[in-house]
Amino acid sequence: MSLPWLVADVGGTNARFGLVTGRGGQPEAVTVLDVSQHLGLADAVAAYLAEHAGGVRPGAACLAIAGPVDRDRYRLTNAGWSGSVTDLGIPRTVLLNDFEALAISLPHLAGGDLVSLGGPPSPPPGLTKAVLGPGTGLGVAGLVPVREGWLPVAGEGGHVAVPVVTDLEMEIVRALRAGGLPYVDAEHLLSGTGLPRLHHGLALVRGVAPGARTAAQITSSDDPLCVETVEVFLALLGGFAGGVALTFGARGGVYLGGGVLPRLAARIPGSAFRARFETTAPALTDYAAAIPTPLIVAEQPALTGAAAWLAQRFPEVEL
C-alpha cells in the first residue's frame, strides 16, 4: 500500500505543511501553523497529521528548515526549535535548508509563478541558478545542474557584510554601528526584521524621530521616511543580488523569494534594484545584464521544491 509524502517549509514564524499523493503532483491539504504555538517540530508535525491530514502516517518526508541542517539534525535560526528528524518516526525523512527547497523548486516554476524584474524574460534552461529572499531573515541558495537532475547548494550568504555603495548607505551603517551594532550584515537590513532597523538608521541620518514601525507598516506607508527606507532597501537588495549572481555564476537566473518582496512588486521596477544588480562589478556589467531576475509569486514554492527533492532522491518509492 502506497503512503503519501509529507512536505514542510518551517520558518521562524510559520510552519507550512502539505501532503503529496502522486509523483510530480502538487502538495495538497496545505496548512500553516504558528511556530510559537508548538513546542517543537515533532509537536507541529503531529498536530498537522492529526488535525489537518486525517491522521495519515506518511511514507516519506522532506522538511525545509529556516536554519542550518546537518544530516538528520536541524536548528531554526530565528526560533527555538532544534533536534533530529529521527524523532518523527517517519521512514525516508530528509532535511533541507528552506532556501535549498526553494532552489529545487525553480525548474518547476513557470508562467504565473514568476514576475520578471529585469533581464531576459525567460531564464535559460540548464544553467546554474540562485535564489535569495528577505523574510524573517535573508536566505540564499544555489542550484547546479547534475546528471540526476539538480543539486541545491545551501549557504548562509545573508550574513555577509551589507553591500553599501552610496554615501547615504555608508552613513546609515555608521549610525547603526555607533548605536551598538558593531557588524552590520546584509540580513540586519535586508529582511523583515531588518526593515525597521534600516528605517531607524535612516531616521538617525536625517535627524528625525523615527517612531516604532513594523516592516508591514513601512512598506505600506506613504510617509516620506518610509518611502525612502524602501528605496534604500531595494537598492541594497540589488547590490546584494548582484553579488550572489557573481558568486554562483548564476547565468540561469537569480530568483527573488521571501515574504517581503511580493508586497513591493509594483515598486521594484521603478527602483534602483536592477541598476545596482547590473553594476555590482563594473567590469562585468554585460555579464550581469544577461542574467534574469524573476520574482517568485507562487503560493508555496518551498513545498513544491520539497516534493521535487523527494521524487529525485527516492525514484523507487511508489506513491
145-172 confidence digits (pLDDT tens): 999 899 999 888 999 999 999 999 999 9
What's the whole-model pTM score? 0.91
191-208 confidence digits (pLDDT tens): 999 999 999 999 999 999
How far apart are the C-alpha atoms of 241 and 168, rounded to whole Å? 20
68-99 confidence digits (pLDDT tens): 889 999 998 778 899 999 999 998 999 998 89
Computed over every residue of the chain, the mean pLDDT equals 93
The pLDDT of residue 25: 82
59-69 confidence digits (pLDDT tens): 999 999 988 88
The pLDDT of residue 319: 64
How far apart are the C-alpha atoms of 18 and 48, rounded to whole Å? 9
Average pLDDT value for residue range 116-129: 90
Average pLDDT value for residue range 201-218: 93
Average pLDDT value for residue range 311-315: 87
168-184 confidence digits (pLDDT tens): 999 999 999 999 999 99
